[in-house]
Structure 1
Amino acid sequence: MAKQYVILDTETTGTNEEDRVIQLGYMVLGAKEIEVHNEFCSTDVAIKFGAMEVHGITPDLLEGKPPCVETVAYKRLLELNTSENYLIIHNAPFDITMLEKEGFKTQMKVIDTLRVAKHVMPDEEAHRLQYFRYKMELYKDEEKEAKALGIVVKAHDAIGDVLVLKLFLSKLKDIVQAQFPNENPVEKMVDLTNTPILVKTFRFGKHKGKSLEEVAREDAGYLRWMLKNMENIDEDLRYSINYYLES
């Protein structure tokens, strides 16, 4: 059986512990035909207004929809969930955590395009998907691609973001290929996904613009305080703070 590549995005009621999936969108590449899934799903958790502001999904759009686990999209995702397939997401930990709340445990190899982008394009001012959509002029190819697949593109809509991610993935693959010419770019992206990023510069707070190495020398107590008190530090920054404190 040919390897399948699942490019996925979710929309949710919010970003907290109690929040749940309300839209599951993905494309499956690898067979002759591209398979497209895009479904709304209901949940008992109210959609937060901040989330509505981002994705525009209101409670009336979910009326009469099945829970996530009963959608065709979710059931098909379970069928695709084997170790030879690839799951491709921008900021994978978020969507995977959301899917885990629905009982989904991925067996697929994961490519997190956000982390890969941070590895191969460390100097970009941002690594958000919408940033690359404009920076790489992906929006110019969207219309044609969407028409071919019968998709309507809206910013922050799950399947719209999946379409942008499909276009971004092919650019990212070329960049990875150029930087690692002797390696399979897809496998290298899996490898980079599993490799922590050494953050070199503070992008926020009282030490903004300073190098982590410098702060570790001059204000190690602040870094230790961050590790202890700031629960929302991403794992790369946590890894980097520990690295510089130990070295």
Structure 2
Amino acid sequence: MSKLLFLDVEATGTEKEDRLIQVAYKIEDDQCNKLFKPPVPIKLSAMAVHHTTEKMVADKEQFSHSQTKENLLRYNNEGAIFVAHNAKYDLGMLAKEGVVFNKHICTMKIARYINSDNRFENHQMQYLRYFYGIEIEATAHDAFGDILVLEQVFAKLYDDFVKKEYGNSNGVILDGVLNRMIEISMQPSLMTSFNFGKYNGKTVEQVASIDRGYLEWLLDMKTQKPEGEEDWIYTLKKVLKKI
């Protein structure tokens, strides 16, 4: 059975120049939660989210020379599967430090995939935490607190994923399920509803039936600035092709 590496990072911000300042992971009995001194300043907007200040990292080591980096590289070489919520962000931050994982599962994309009946109002991890009734003492936007929630959210999503794909878990090989989840995680997600704009709360299919022009306009806007918009571009192209 493949080992699962649950991981979360916090960073100086969300732009191209930003770098990680906290790494937390858990893989079997090994767990880590460390702060690192970044090569760029921490943005105030980021501090307002994770509450990590310049003073808190001033005397910390740099991630590039850390044992944590060596551990992550080793786990990747051993075939561990990286698991994160909105994995693209965490993978991107780690890639800036020379850590690239061969296999990953994005729990946000898995949540979108199984949400064909729109029972989730959104796909954020803290929403899923409460949707599934997960009771755990964990602080949001702290990397270690997030992976404690992530681990349990993954377990719930895994059960629902098996039901959707296989009907039940009888005879399902774990690695086969994980490989399917990896496959889905590496593809664009099909968005089912809007959580922004004038059609906030409506499904994409509903909007397609009443306002094709809006979808065409939105596709044009997102195509002009495609960074981070792969899922919406994929969805809009697919829907517009059908109508």
TM-score tier (shorter): 0.7 to 0.9
Q: Which residue of 2 aligns with 1:185?
A: 177
The 5-angstrom pairing of residues 178-217 of structure 1 reads 178-181=163-166, 184-208=176-200, 209=202, 211=206, 213-214=208-209, 217=212
Once the two structures are overlaid, the 10-residue window that deviates more, 165-174 or 201-210, is 201-210
- In the other structure, the counterpart of 2:9 is 10
Residue 115 (structure 2) aligned to one of 95, 109, 121: 121
* CA 1:155–1:218: 2 relative to 1, 3 Å: closer
Matches within 5 A, 1:24-39: 24-29=23-28, 34-39=29-34
Larger displacement relative to structure 2 (158-167 or 228-237) = 228-237
CA contact under 8 A between 2:190 and 2:231: conserved in structure 1? yes
State how far apart, in whole Å, the 2-side matches of 1:228 and 1:35 are.
Answer: 42
Q: 1:66 corresponds to which residue? A: 61
TM-score (norm 2): 0.85
- Structure 1 gaps of 5+ residues are 144-152
Which deviates the most, 156-165 or 206-215?
206-215
What's the offset of the Cα at 1:7? 0.4
Identity of aligned residues (%): 31
Structure 1 residues 111 and 233, CA, compared in 2 at 3 Å: closer, same or farther? Answer: closer
Matched residues, number: 230
State the match for 1:111 in structure 2: 105
Q: Distance in 2 between matches of 1:212 and 1:199?
A: 13
Q: Which runs of 5+ in 2 are unaligned?
A: none
Superposed, 1:230-245 pairs within 5 Å as: 230-231=225-226, 234-245=229-240
Aligned equivalents of 2:48, 2:211: Cα separation in 1: 39
**Alpha-carbon displacement from aligned partner over 1:150-184 (angstroms, at most 9, x marks no partner):** xxx32211111011111111111111111122753
Q: C-alpha distance in 2, partners of 1:132/1:185?
A: 21
Report SS of the residue matched to 1:8: strand
Distance 1:98 1:174 in 2: 29
Aligned AA (1:194) = M
Distance (whole Å) between structure 1 residues aligned to residue 63 and residue 225 of structure 2: 32
Give the counterpart letter for 1:190 in structure 2.
I
**Which letter does structure 2 place at the counterpart of 1:9?**
D
Question: CA offset at residue 192 of structure 1?
Answer: 2.0
Pairing partner for 2:42 from 47, 52, 55: 47
Distance (whole Å) between structure 2 residues aligned to residue 230 and residue 161 of structure 1: 30
Correspondent of 2:72 among 61, 68, 77: 77
For 1:169-180, list aligned pairs within 5 A: 169-180=154-165
- Give the AA of the match of 1:162: I
Greater CA drift, 64-73 or 109-118: 64-73
SS at match of 2:17: coil
CA RMSD of aligned residues (A): 2.2
1:159 maps to which residue?
144
Larger deviation: 177-186 or 216-225?
216-225
